[in-house]
Chains A and B, each alone.
Chain A
């Protein structure tokens, strides 16, 4: 049965967005309260004067950022920020999904092409089925977000239009191209499945990902401009070209962070789809297929997740370099507590990922060789998790302070600071990799002559890395001054990376011509599939949490240092309030994803013909 799809919604929304942007860009959008003479500082006035005298023929005029008063924000009866928060977060969730899925689908397609295994191609196609419905929803939320922003924050949007100008039109046009490529890529899958046509299809996938990545970095530039504006002077007047406005100090760190995080997020969501299908499977073949699909999705999610903390380090380092004040607001100021929640979320992700791998070892008899290690890995993970969530500063009553003998517990106090947490995080990553490594080895028996030496080398690398991580954390974290603490974390990260890279390389060579033991897909506990539900829930919540901190570090500024937020919502909400919002958007996302899963299945569902029709067909025959 041929599938049909409603193309209209994203394309109509694209048209709407282009029309709105075009209208605003071409017209004299500036609100009447943009009064440069009233608000610009002397610097701006001088710059205006200089620019006018130097280039009066072109009537060139610098215009500072608007300074809206509270009365300039439309009051719609409910918090404008909450409305935009929910819509923006939903748009981001689905945007992340539709940008990430084609990326690993392309890799899986290439894998299928090179191995000739049709299962890869089928799985990639099925992944795209999820992405294509999600794309329509992304467009719907994108259009709604644009509308909400222009209605609720007209001055901010007018200023961003001024700063980014035609770039926003380019964005809208690329959105068209993305739509067209996506539909051809998905619907042309079977039409371009073999021979040279397959290469055309793969090229289309490459192009699709190129356009998708461009869309992402363009949208990122708006967010990073609001955090760390560039190409503008100190009163917000645009003095640089579009490239200078885009390439702020946080742009590339955010690009990298979002790129990796999107893949992890996308992998987790399609993993939940596979888990659901696996649990609901009615045949052994289906269960095996979706078990394999779930495993692949989890592999993608965890593989992308492992380097994410390092991208996070880079982002935070750049934030500190741009503004120490902003960095401390995030890490050591009012937002510091949310990193306890972050620890809970990442701990959940790592524990769920590990649990899934351990459960998956039941698929093969060969895993018995390694099952004894699992309990030790579990103990290390739990201890590290507990250290990670240990808060440093507690809110205490005077009685509690007296009972503790100070504001910090003599044991928990030292465990609450970054050196202890850095040790814990790095050990969790290393032991997660160990789980992954023994899982991968479970169904293989090495045949190379240097197996013992290779294993000894691997063990040595693990031991040295773990000792180095603990030593660097303890010595530089507790026995030297603050300056060296940051340096120690670099050593620790390098140790972790060495373990991961050397583990992959050694195993690649050691198991090149390995004997493969039988492995039975589908022979896995139902409980393990719930770990695949835990991953997207924790990822979704984590994305929402990080969105909260990224937005909040701007404090009471729409565009940091150049355009103040004077709306009624210009305060940083409490972590509890933010947590409630995160759960709302997570539940909404889950409901929409369920809708997508249902739609994806509906296209495969064929109603049995009524008896009368069957009878007529029989008579005709």
Chain B
């Protein structure tokens, strides 16, 4: 029999300490990663009576990457056709001519509708379910669970797909909203609290404010106040002066000045000022450097604002990243190339950016003076 020795001391403390330290290390890793919360889709109250073609298409774009979950597969990773990079109206017309097409669509709009509610009607080569020889689509019907888009929402996406490549939007705008979704501001008396103002004018349909809301417009709870009371007031009553980066123009109703009572507007402005929140991205901070820009920036500024260039390009240090930044474009391209990139954007594609995204019809929409002003301005961005 062997000798019994004293049990080693501190085994329990050491083993527990080691185990706890390891668990905390894993916790640390989890907390160092980007923190993203997957929110359940929120039923948005949209004032259907106030919808314009542009705002309807913008709603479609939001649904495309939001509730519709289209962007989950339709991206540049090869899981499904990259819808943002291709002209869907042209593609729809081609597919309808394909002998494999078994549907009953007669135009691009009905084809797009059909492709969403019955994706198996035509499966793009190479994107069918594994082993089905491209006869079965892996895409779920968007009007069924778990996506459950309504007819209005499906049409909004069609509007977006048509508008993004400069085609005419052919879907009919919904004009009547269900009773529960259209609270008439006039019908009620003046709102007395910030909650009542937000509820009465449906701010949360598009903005996150008071802790919840949609993402069609900038998050008003996440922005640090950088603006004066007057700038915030102007942002509410004339919202399209300058559009926040990453958000489409023309979505926010222009008639709040007519609808709101002075008291209500004051409550809203007071809240945004007092709570140190701001509609920062909606306001013209990008214009603060106008004086340094040189060139005909006052005219160019109007063009950039009118055509929403900053939705995709960085100008004055801010804007979207869908297209190349333009703050140094004058050093990279000559005037002819800049002009060509505006009027025929797909002629030459900047390295690392998809083709077919920039609308090809700016030459039809811009006057010669506007185009000249824009080119001159951009050539001086070095």
A contacts, CB < 8 Å to B: 234, 272, 275-276, 279-285, 321, 323-325, 328-329, 332-335, 337-338, 340-341, 344-345, 348, 395, 398, 401, 406, 481-483, 530, 533-534, 537-538, 541, 552, 555-557, 560-562, 565, 570-580, 582-583, 586-587, 590, 594
Contacts and interface: CB of A to CB of B under 8 A. Distances in A.
Interface of B: 2-8, 11-12, 14-16, 18-20, 22-24, 26-27, 29-31, 33-41, 69, 72-73, 77-79, 126, 129-130, 138-140, 144-147, 314, 321, 352
A193 to B, nearest CB: 24
Nearest to A407: B321
Q: Which 6 pairs show the lowest CB-CB distances between chains A and B?
A: A579-B30, A572-B38, A556-B40, A482-B78, A561-B145, A574-B35
Contacts of B23: 537, 541, 583, 586-587, 590
B46 to A, nearest CB: 20
A325 B140 contact: yes
A324 B34 contact: no
B26 A582 contact: yes
Nearest to A566: B40
Given A282-B6, A325-B140, A578 B30 contact: yes
Contact of B145 (A234, A341, A534): A234
Given A234-B145, A337-B33, A283 B22 contact: no
Nearest to A283: B2
Contact of A282 (B5, B129, B139): B5
B7 A579 contact: no
B11 A276 contact: yes
Contacts, number: 153
Counting chain A CB atoms within 10 Å of each CB, the highest count among B5, B22, B69 belongs to B22
Contact of A332 (B15, B40, B77): B77
B283 to A, nearest CB: 20
B2 to A, nearest CB: 5
Contacts of B26: 341, 344-345, 538, 541, 579, 582-583
Contacts of B40: 555-556, 565, 570-571
A560 B140 CA distance: 13
Dominant secondary structure at the A interface: helix
A348 B22 contact: yes
B7 A333 contact: no
B352 A406 contact: yes
A398 B314 contact: yes
Contacts of B73: 324-325, 328
Contact of B146 (A276, A325, A533): A325
Contacts of A324: 73, 79, 138-140
Given A324-B79, A482-B79, 7 more contacts: A276-B15, A280-B8, A283-B3, A285-B2, A571-B37, A579-B27, A587-B20
B109 to A, nearest CB: 25
Contact of B30 (A285, A555, A556, A576): A576
A577 B36 CA distance: 10
A328 B79 CA distance: 9
B145 A562 contact: yes
Contacts of A279: 8, 11, 14-15
Contacts of B7: 280-282
A337 B36 contact: yes
5 contacts: A279-B11, A338-B30, A344-B29, A579-B27, A590-B20
B218 to A, nearest CB: 18
Contacts of A537: 19, 22-23
A400 to B, nearest CB: 13
Given A324-B138, A579-B27, A583-B23, A280 B11 contact: yes
A282 B37 contact: no
Nearest to B4: A282
A80 to B, nearest CB: 15
A323 B22 CA distance: 36
B144 A333 contact: no
A477 B153 CA distance: 38
A587 B7 CA distance: 25
A575 B33 CA distance: 8
Nearest to A530: B18
A41 to B, nearest CB: 10
Contacts of A572: 37-39
Contact of A571 (B12, B19, B20, B38): B38
Contacts of B8: 279-280
A583 B27 contact: yes
B38 A552 contact: yes
A234 B38 CA distance: 24
Contacts of B144: 234, 561
B332 to A, nearest CB: 14
A307 B195 CA distance: 56
Contact of B39 (A398, A562, A571): A571
